[in-house]
Each structure stands twice: as structure tokens, then as C-alpha cells.
Amino acid sequence: MKSQKELSKTDHSTEDKIKNAARLIFHKKGYAATRTRDIAEEAGINLALLNYYFRSKEKLFDIIMLESLQGFLHSIKEVFNNEETSLENKIETLVSNYIDLLIEQPDIPLFLLSELRNNPNELVSKINIKQVLMNSYFIKQFKHAMNDGIIATMNPLHFIMNILGMTVFPFIASPILKSLSDISPADFEDLMNQRKILIPNWIKGMLIV
């Protein structure tokens, strides 16, 4: 239950106030549409202070971007490299954790994907997503099960696309989905919580030999 604390992090220092405001607005509007004035106002401080602490809009953005990316990968990393849990259990945990995360911070995926779009970013290589995902214990288990004929043979990328697609996409597309049905935010959250059970079941269905 750290999420609430995570969101409105310790707002003690001015530096933290600015960072929290920046995260909020960058996530919501993206780099280009964000004005440093908005961040300053949201933080309740003066515009000059932003440059005093972070030098420039871009530097501040880079910090937020890095942290957001790391935070988002953190969930996967922990689950994927747990050597105690089964393949099935990993899927259930991952989906459930992500849905919880996305209910709290629904803006993160669209933010990350938009900002990563054109920047074959140094960040992506710095964070080394490849190492985290493709060399994980999870992938080992997956390939092992395929070799043993326990699950159907497929490129692990398909598998990752399906899990992430079914889990993350509804949040990215929520503006449209909400307009499809006359669905309230509470209803939407209910639907997403249902998916904690549904998605792992669907995924299992895909793996049957």
C-alpha cells in the first residue's frame, strides 16, 4: 500500500514540491505542451526557483522521465526474476500489480510511449529494458516450458505483447472506451479489476498445447 505515499511523495523540500508538480503535469500533457509556468504554479513556487533547482525544463524532464521509466520497469523486474514462483503465478501477479499501478497513475503509459516515440532515446539503452525482460528468469521458465512441450510454441514477444496489450491498452484508450458505454470512472475501475482474473485465464488459454 505504498502507492498513495508514492504519488504525493514527501512534499517537504522545495525541490520535491517541484518534482512532484513536474511529474504530474508532464505525465498529463507531455513535454512539448507543458509550460514551466504551469509546473511552478502547481508547485506553489516561483518560476525562477524551478531554474534555480533544475537548471532547465529539459533537465527537469529528463529526471522525471528516468524515474517514471524505472518505476514502470520495477514492477516487471521484481516479478519476472522471482525464482520461487511458477509461470502462472508470475502472470497473475504481474497483471494484478500493473492494474493497481495504472488505476492510480493512468497517465503513465501514454506519457512514456509518446515521449519515447521519436527518441531512439539514450534512456532506453541506459535503463536496458532488454536485459531486464529478455534475460529474466521468467523468459527462462517460458522457454523451458516450450521445450518440454508443456505450453504451445511461440515467439516470447507475442506473449509479452499480449499480456501488456490486454493489460495496458484499456488505460491508454480509456477516453474512447468511456465514451463507448456511458461508463462512470467507478465502473471503469470495476472492469479493470475484473481483468486481474480474466486476463491470466485468457493467457493460459493461449498457452494450451
172, 37, 54, 56: which is closest to 112 by C-alpha? 172
CA dist 43 and 65 (Å) reads 18
Annotate each residue in 180-199 with x if it binds its own copies (CB under 8 A) or - if it does not, as one string.
xx-x-------x--xx--x-
Q: Of its own copies, DNA, none, which one sits near residue 191, judging by CB under 5 to 8 A according to partner kind?
A: its own copies
3-state secondary structure of 35: coil
* Residue 175: partners with Cβ closer than 8 Å, 6 or more residues away: none
Helix residue ranges, H only, 105-184: 108-117, 122-127, 129-134, 137-147, 156-172, 174-180
Task: Kindly tell me which of 124 and 150 has the beta carbon lying closer to its own copies.
Answer: 124
Q: Of its own copies, DNA, none, which one sits near residue 66, judging by CB under 5 to 8 A according to partner kind?
A: none
Does the protein bind its own copies through residue 116 (CB under 8 A)?
yes
Figure out which of the listed residues 34, 93, 96, 167 binds DNA, where binding follows CB under 7 A: 34
Dihedral of CA atoms 165, 169, 171, 177 in degrees, nearest 10, equals: -140
Task: Kindly tell me which of 56 and 194 has the beta carbon lying closer to DNA.
Answer: 56
Task: Kindly tell me which of 31 and 137 has the beta carbon lying closer to DNA.
Answer: 31
Contact set for DNA, span 39-78 (CB under 7 A): 45-49, 51-52, 55-58
CA dist 151 and 148 (Å) reads 8
Rounded least distance, CB 175 to its own copies, Å: 5
CA dist 96 and 80 (Å) reads 13
Figure out which of the listed residues 48, 118, 122, 153 binds its own copies, where binding follows CB under 8 A: 118
Does the protein bind its own copies through residue 170 (CB under 8 A)?
yes
For residues 167 and 99, the answer to whether their CB atoms sit within 8 Å is yes
φ, ψ of residue 55 to 5 degrees: the values are 75, -50
Q: Which residues contact DNA by CB under 7 A? A: 14, 34-37, 45-49, 51-52, 55-58
Contact set with its own copies (CB under 8 A): 28-33, 107, 110, 113-114, 116-118, 120, 124-125, 129-130, 133-134, 154-155, 157-158, 160-162, 164-170, 172-173, 175-177, 179-181, 183, 191, 194-195, 198, 202, 205-206, 208
